[in-house]
A and B are shown apart, each in its own frame.
Chain A
């Protein structure tokens, strides 16, 4: 699963940063479960559109939906760049 597009999106608050990523494939259950290595994973497969949320150390988050090719990454003010790079690195491998 590889990132094909990244853009910064505005939100309501000053200080954080939200990035929207689009991937070359849709999120599968396996991809979602693999996120657990990055933090605490919450996954709600029973919702009409199965939702996942990863809560990383320091308050960063990944939010997305099973079967869609996008996700949102919310980054805190501190350590923003290193977290972003780590996430992007993990999703730069075509395998």
Chain B
């Protein structure tokens, strides 16, 4: 029943989880699982051959040579964001300022502390291009704020916020700053000291092309987050309370050694070849965005400001619900994409795609030109037949 010559699955859902993984990830993960576990220094900062230790070293380099002891390894960005948001001592009367471009991994923990602890949360809007206005942000910070949480790159449009400016405004009123680098890590430089980020949350399975289930939380020197998960650390077992020093402070239980071993391979690949990969992705994303933009029945969201390095293009087809458009791409043409709200419900109100959402095509460093051309061709054919 299938058209002869159609390529099998074109994977353009890399903003959810990138695929393929970086070279060596599957092998490293598999090798770790096949060998007897060696865990001489759980939560170690400098143990040789320990994936946790090597992960910290590589992430520290990725973040502009920060102190590796300030990097807690987590189960992903959601885990990191929860640790950070819950770890900042907030209570009745505390104020948090965030943006409408946030993912539910930020919005839901904030909604929870608003409900349970009486924290006041202000959400700053964005333009139709998904960019937060600095004046609006500054206004929301008045008269004071305790914590600011900002999404570096939007998982809906790919728009990159001017985090340095927003965080400078936050520091002016004494607020702590938390950067959600879920979509930017690996694609756009993430430099906490230059950006003024007190905390940075990131994951291994998107722009860094590692396995799922691994992430990190950077916490700057001098900032001690409350502990929410405590337990075994593999060392200092005689202590009645969980150790207070970073990174152990925020790590409890047996680490995901297999995932970390895979992430080490991905981070090494990224350090070696990531820059070229991002350049390829940016060129292909720009090509895709231009081609889609030229189709009369297609609306590309955030087209003016989106950063091509992030590799995200969100679109709609006139008269066709996003869910149906996505289904047609995937079922009819084997273009694996994502349709709907992308766990960022407020962003759609800003960019004009509520309540239906968008179809999101997202590229990785390993996406090839043929994949992008297949997607363009599919949208063209769908547009010709289905658009109103």
Chain A interface residues (CB < 8 Å from chain B)? 11-13, 42, 44, 46-51, 53, 61, 63-68, 72, 74
Contacts and interface: CB of A to CB of B under 8 A. Distances in A.
B290 to A, nearest CB: 24
A49 B327 contact: no
Given A53-B328, A66-B1, 10 more contacts: A11-B323, A13-B341, A44-B328, A48-B2, A48-B3, A49-B1, A50-B1, A63-B331, A64-B331, A65-B1
B340 interface: yes
A51 B328 contact: yes
B6 A49 contact: yes
B340 A49 contact: no
B369 to A, nearest CB: 19
B385 interface: yes
Contacts of A50: 1, 332
Nearest to A70: B331
Contacts of A11: 323, 340
A51 B340 contact: no
A13 B339 CA distance: 11
A68 B334 CA distance: 14
B341 A63 contact: no
Contacts of B334: 48-49
20 contacts: A12-B357, A13-B340, A13-B341, A42-B386, A44-B385, A47-B3, A48-B3, A48-B6, A48-B332, A48-B334, A49-B331, A53-B327, A53-B328, A61-B324, A63-B324, A63-B327, A63-B331, A65-B332, A67-B2, A72-B327
B337 to A, nearest CB: 13
A53 B2 CA distance: 17
B339 A12 contact: yes
A44 B328 CA distance: 10
B381 interface: yes
A56 B306 CA distance: 38
B1 A12 contact: no
Contacts of B2: 48-49, 67
A47 B333 contact: yes
Contacts of A47: 3, 328, 332-333, 381, 385
Nearest to B6: A48
A56 to B, nearest CB: 14
B371 to A, nearest CB: 15
